[in-house]
Amino acid sequence: MSVLLSVRDLTHRYGEFVAVNNISLDIQPGECYGLLGPNGAGKSTTLEILEGLLKPTQGEVLYRGRAIDKTFKQEVGIQFQSTTLPDYLTVYDCLKLFASFYQSHTPIAHLIKQCQLSEIADKLHYNLSGGQKQRLLLALSLINDPSLLFLDEPTTGLDPQARLHFWQLVREIKQQGKTIILTTHYMEEAEQLCDRIAIMDRGQFIAEGTPADLLSDNFLPQIVELEGIYSQQDFGALPIRLSKCAGRTRVECHSFNELMTAFKKAAPSLNGMSVRKPNLEDLFLKLTGNELRI
């Protein structure tokens, strides 16, 4: 399979500050690739370079094996975190305006139906709810029928229902064969939508792969959280990974039943417990730490 977007030895500096430090990646056609990281990790700078909005200090970005040129803008769509639209335009007027920017475009009626805008097509855009506004911005990013779609934190601020609806739209777009690069702070969103992810921190990739592979490489199959502080001795000779925080003990294990059998022999008193599988939030915190990034 040919690579759609290729990045080699990408570095970008703002004066002496290195925002992106020698990263490389390949985006395959038809995949959803997630770019994750704490605030200040270098995601926004990387995304602006991939979108062709910012020239890197060094390194190269190739689209279909060629350097980014004028045709690139005709073949990609971008949904920014926020977009300022002209005043007094309806949803339909916004789509008509953006259609005029391209040599060819997807029929507006199709986008209105696809992005569930039929009931608000005649509504002024500044009167839309958060979920409605994001669906409009998604439709605008699809107006030129792009091969590559950038979604920059598209569900930030949306309520859970609106977020789930947006996820379904993204799945439908992906089923059409479009390639998606997604940035998000919602780990569940990345786990639901992305075929592969990269986690950035301090300008570098610290992990890359499928969510399933990254979780299996970094965690045992089950996580058991217990109220109280326990030690390795409380679980016998079982191969576990144990951590403690805020009066609770977290145990990674291969088998919950084996863990409980060993635990009851050593410490039969048990006040509270939860059992779950590792998720991307666990991975994110494990790799990037718990400190607040501003």
- Based on the fold, state whether residues 266 and 186 are members of the same structural domain: no
Domain with residue 244: its CATH number is 3.30.70
* Cα–Cα nearest to 23, from 52, 1, 50: 50
Shared-domain flag, residues 65 and 176: yes
Same domain? For 74 and 178 the reply is: yes
Distances (CA, A) of 69 to 60, 74, 76, 142: 13, 10, 12, 20
Task: Check if the beta carbon of residue 277 is closer than 8 Å to that of residue 222.
Answer: yes
| Full residue range of the structural domain in which residue 61 is found | 5-215
Residues 55, 200 within the same domain: yes
Between CA 204 and CA 3 the distance in angstroms is 21
Do 224 and 85 lie in one domain? The reply is no
Q: Are residues 189 and 228 in the same domain?
A: no
- Decide if 285 is inside a domain: no
Q: What pLDDT is attached to residue 245? A: 82
Task: State the pLDDT at residue 290.
Answer: 62
Provide the number of structural domains found in the chain: 2
**Residue after which a domain boundary falls, among 162, 195, 215:** 215
In a domain, 204, yes or no: yes
Residue 201 CB neighbour total at 10 angstroms: 20
- Please indicate, yes or no, whether residues 66 and 164 belong to a single structural domain of this protein: yes
Q: Is 214 helix (H, G, I), strand (E, B) or coil?
A: helix
Same domain, 10 and 122: yes
What pLDDT does residue 111 have?
96
Q: What is the pLDDT of residue 265?
A: 65
Radius of gyration from C-alpha coordinates of the chain: 23
Is residue 93 domain-shared with residue 226, that is, in the same domain? no
Per-residue b or e along 106-123, where b marks 16 or more CB atoms closer than 10 Å to that residue's CB: bebeebbebbbbeebbee
Q: Tell me, what's the pLDDT at 255?
A: 92
Q: Are residues 169 and 257 in the same domain?
A: no
pLDDT mean values, one per 10 residues, the chain (294 residues): 91 96 96 94 94 95 92 92 90 96 93 96 95 95 96 93 94 95 95 96 96 96 90 87 88 91 68 88 88 54
Rounded CA separation 193/206 (Å): 20
Token pair 């969510």 is found at: 211
pTM above 0.85, yes or no: yes
146 falls within a domain: yes
Residue 15, burial from CB neighbour count under 10 angstroms (0-12, 13-18, 19+) = exposed
The verdict on 17 and 94 lying in the same domain is yes
Adjacency order of strands within the sheet including 273-276: 241-245, 248-253, 222-227, 273-276
- Asked if 80 and 172 sit in the same domain, the reply is yes
39 is a domain residue? yes
Flag whether 290 is in a domain: no
